[in-house]
Amino acid sequence: MLYFEDIEIGRKSSFGRYEVTREEVIEFATKYDPQPFHLDDEAAAQTYFGRISASGWHTCAMTMRMVVENMAANRQAGLGSPGVDEIRWLKPVYPGDVLRCESEVIEKRASKSRPDMGSMRGRMTVFNQNDEPVMTFISIGLIRRRPADD
């Protein structure tokens, strides 16, 4: 189990593999971001994207899936997250892309009001199969401190 005390600033990790499908791009967009360039080939061809692309919010959801799978494989004493900062969609994500993640711990702080926990900030970069960054954000995570009996 990884606790607050085990987190090192500068620690990097690479994880995840997510294959983006056309069906999922259209399904997500239909429900949550029904803009024409996420739904229709002809409409998308008339835009900067050139073809159907995933919603940025869909890219966030696919990333979250990879994060949760990584947390399940590498147990942490995580307590959730109060949010993210500085989200940027750098490059379109298209059906057929294969995404992966790289994270780096950039800050950690013990809680002053809750001695049993701390927080950490990390820079997350999502890459496509060509190692091109498609999205970045700063994650904020809450994590338990190591219990006295461990």
Is the per-residue pLDDT at 110 higher than 80? yes
Q: Is the pLDDT of residue 76 over 90?
A: no
150 confidence band (pLDDT: 50, 70, 90) = low
Question: How do residues 113-128 score in pLDDT, each as one tens digit?
Answer: 998 999 999 999 999 9
Output the average pLDDT for the chain: 95
Task: Please give the pLDDT value at position 82.
Answer: 93
- Note the pLDDT tens digit of each residue in 4-23: 999 999 999 999 999 999 99
The per-residue pLDDT for 6 is 93
Q: What is the DSSP string of 111-144?
A: -SS-TTEEEEEEEEEEE-TTS-EEEEEEEEEEEE
66 sits in which H/E element: helix 56-73
Order of strands, edge to edge, in the sheet holding 83-89?
Answer: 12-19, 98-110, 117-127, 133-144, 83-89
pLDDT in tens, 22-75: 999 999 999 999 999 999 999 999 999 999 999 999 999 999 999 999 988 988
Asked if 135 and 89 count as a contact pair (C-beta separation under 8 A), the reply is yes
Q: Output the pLDDT for position 72.
A: 87
- Residue count of the chain: 150
Structure-block tokens of residue 74? 């590498």
Domains and CATH numbers, the chain: 4-144 (3.10.129.10)
